[in-house]
Amino acid sequence: MAELSALQQPYYEATTLQQIEQLFPVRLSKELLSDFKFDHPVLKQYLPDARELINPDGYGEDPVGDREATSAGGLLKKYQHRALLITTNTCPVHCRYCFRKDYPYSRETPNQHRYETALAAVKKDHSLNEIILSGGDPLSLDDDLLSYLFTSLAAIEHIQTVRVHTKFPSIYPQRVTDALLSILATTRLNTVVVLHINHPDEITASVKYAAEQIKHTNTTTLNQAVLLRDVNDATDTLAELSHRLFSAGILPYYLHLLDKARGTHHFHVERARAEIIMQQLKQRLPGYLVPKLAQELSGHASKDY
């Protein structure tokens, strides 16, 4: 990106940046670049870093065992009663700590034909009652395609709930269009939107407004954060995050320990430290504002917490 290479930061030497870009392209919004200074914790989530080229033992391409859990059409089933659809390979920003940066996305393009395969599998599996639209970011889809997915899922009798895992409302709040709100408001399904906000400063007035609009469609709005070194690994920051989420009508859901994806070790926070932070959060916050500390391990029957 021109904006980045023009900056003479130690981490952005041209060849290093090129190497990083080849492994996982940089993607962030103009707004983020103008709203935050370069050393702001919010931007650290999206700016390339030379440390991405270093991979200690244990850091790899499929940290949570997604590949073996994926079936035809991009449906991932790891847990009972719920399955996750990789709707698309596209996200509004590239979080440098992404655990799906190496997911074999080439097949998972956003098209109706592929979804038909996944939907047929959902229809056949009567143990399922909830489908999670994930990705990539499902709000990368246009509203017509989203509407098709919601309508198709609502037509499957045993499905009760559709959950959307998205970062869009906090990155481009204008993505929360009237058409999207109408999809959420009119479906017969229970609707849950799980946002991904890691730092209190990400909750601007327009993000708050977008979240409130979603909530007004009778959608349960939750947040999953990732505990990231030098971004949000402080009790004060996480307590403030919970309070600001709550002011926007969002409840904290999970605080994930980092998945050991390739090139992410510099974000790692030890579990022991995470537990100390959690202890402090429990003392400081009402129970409903304390996220669950969660870790996903390959082959486990649920997230662990």
Ligand X SMILES: *Cc1c(COP(=O)(O)O)cnc(C)c1O
Chain residues that interact with ligand X, rule: CB under 6 A: 76, 78-79, 82, 84, 132, 302-303
SS3 132: strand
CB of 292 to ligand X, least distance (A): 9
- Cβ–Cβ under 8 Å, residues 118 and 152: no
AA identity, residue 201: D
Among candidate residues 122, 139, 45, the one with its CA nearest the CA of residue 87: 139
CB of 254 to ligand X, least distance (A): 7
Instruction: Name the token pair of 98.
Output: 């992404």
CB of 66 to ligand X, least distance (A): 7
Q: Between 141 and 194, whose beta carbon lies closer to ligand X?
A: 194
Instruction: Name the token pair of 280.
Output: 């402090």
CB of 86 to ligand X, least distance (A): 9
* C-alpha distance from residue 216 to each of 170, 199, 224, 253 (Å): 17, 24, 20, 19
Q: Between 260 and 303, whose beta carbon lies closer to ligand X?
A: 303
Q: Between 38 and 305, whose beta carbon lies closer to ligand X?
A: 305
Q: Which residue stretches of 94-142 are H helix?
A: 112-124
Output the CA torsion 22→8→258→283 (10° steps): -160
Q: Between 84 and 241, whose beta carbon lies closer to ligand X?
A: 84
CB of 163 to ligand X, least distance (A): 8
Q: Between 41 and 291, whose beta carbon lies closer to ligand X?
A: 291
